[in-house]
Amino acid sequence: MKKIIAAGGLALALAGIGGTASAGDIVGGSVLLDAGKHAQLERWLGAGEFNLNNVYTLQDGDTSADFHAAADGKGATFTLLEVTNSGGDSFLVGGYNPQSWSTSGGWNVTERDWQRTAFLFNFTDPAVYRQILSTYVLPSQGQYQTFNATGVGPMFGVGPDLVVTADLDTALSWQTSYGDPLDEGKSIVDRSTNGMALHIDGMEVFSISPVPEPRETAMLIAGMGVLALIGRKRARRRTGTA
């Protein structure tokens, strides 16, 4: 069963108190994701079950510097955005970045098709948009995976196909590097073609961790139990108790 584990309960879960982490756990909690949406991310990624770890949740006054401080160097991540368009319609969208975010100030360029594993997605109007492969008439169109710089939040594609501005309050989407090349210029959010600004109501970033094998989980719990026992014995020696 998939569970959402609040950050304060992580140690208890790993220790086997109150239940252990299982496939599809969302560690650190989430406002935007539930078990069903997590399962859909697993299906879209196609790499089996995994746990998600909440490494960043948007707070009032945050900027791109706060995003990078929390999300950089975390390996593959999912970014979730709750946005509202000019018509007042709300959408839950996001992207999968197979590489770590950073502030290096440059593109993650994926020249080979096997490198083009990032994708964008829309939960509200269910759709997934993958990097355009080199078999297209313009082989380089899909190679710009993500952009990394201090002055911008998460940014996918050269359109940009999905970008969060420095103040983390506005998003834009102009399809170019992801999805059907014939849809260039459309928004992955509401399919509009005007490149309209979207207000960001919520943003979360999750790193990915594999689900431990049962044997590994048992060994981890046993090891933590041994450490706890040693700690108790040392405490008794210091107090002179049996």
pLDDT of 234 above 90: no
Identify the domain containing residue 107 by its residue range. Answer: 55-203
Which tokens is 209 given? Answer: 């961790």
Average pLDDT over residues 33-52: 95
Question: Is 47 within a domain?
Answer: no
Distances (CA, A) of 78 to 9, 73, 99, 209: 22, 13, 11, 12
Can you give the pLDDT at residue 5?
62
Question: Is 174 within a domain?
Answer: yes
Q: How far apart are CA 32 and CA 81, in angstroms?
A: 8
Which tokens is 85 given? Answer: 């368009």
Question: Is 236 within a domain?
Answer: no
Kind and range of the H or E run holding 210: strand 198-210
Tell me which of 17-31, 44-58, 83-97, 98-112 is least confident.
Answer: 17-31
pLDDT of 127 above 90: yes
Question: Is 19 within a domain?
Answer: no
Residue 170, exposed/middle/buried by CB under 10 A (0-12, 13-18, 19+)? middle
Question: Is 179 within a domain?
Answer: yes
Q: For the chain, what is the domain count?
A: 1
Q: How far apart are CA 54 and CA 43, in angstroms?
A: 19
| Residue 182 pLDDT level (bands cut at 50, 70, 90) | very high
| Residue 10 pLDDT level (bands cut at 50, 70, 90) | very low
Question: Is 112 within a domain?
Answer: yes
Decide the pairing of beta strands 50-57 and 26-27: parallel
Which tokens is 227 given? Answer: 């450490």
Tell me which of 11-20, 70-79, 134-143, 193-202 is least confident.
Answer: 11-20
pTM: 0.81
Residue 31 CA from chain centroid, whole number: 13
Higher pLDDT, 168 or 231: 168
Coil, helix or strand at residue 122: strand
| Residue 105 pLDDT level (bands cut at 50, 70, 90) | confident
Distances (CA, A) of 91 to 63, 72, 84, 131, 141: 22, 25, 6, 21, 26
| Residue 194 pLDDT level (bands cut at 50, 70, 90) | confident
Average pLDDT over residues 72-83: 98
Residue 99, exposed/middle/buried by CB under 10 A (0-12, 13-18, 19+)? middle
- Closest Cα partner for 220 from 25, 20, 48, 52? 20
The upper half-sphere exposure of residue 94, i.e. CA atoms within 13 Å in the direction of its Cβ, equals: 22
Question: Is 140 within a domain?
Answer: yes
Residue written as tokens 């109501």? Answer: 201
Question: Is 76 within a domain?
Answer: yes
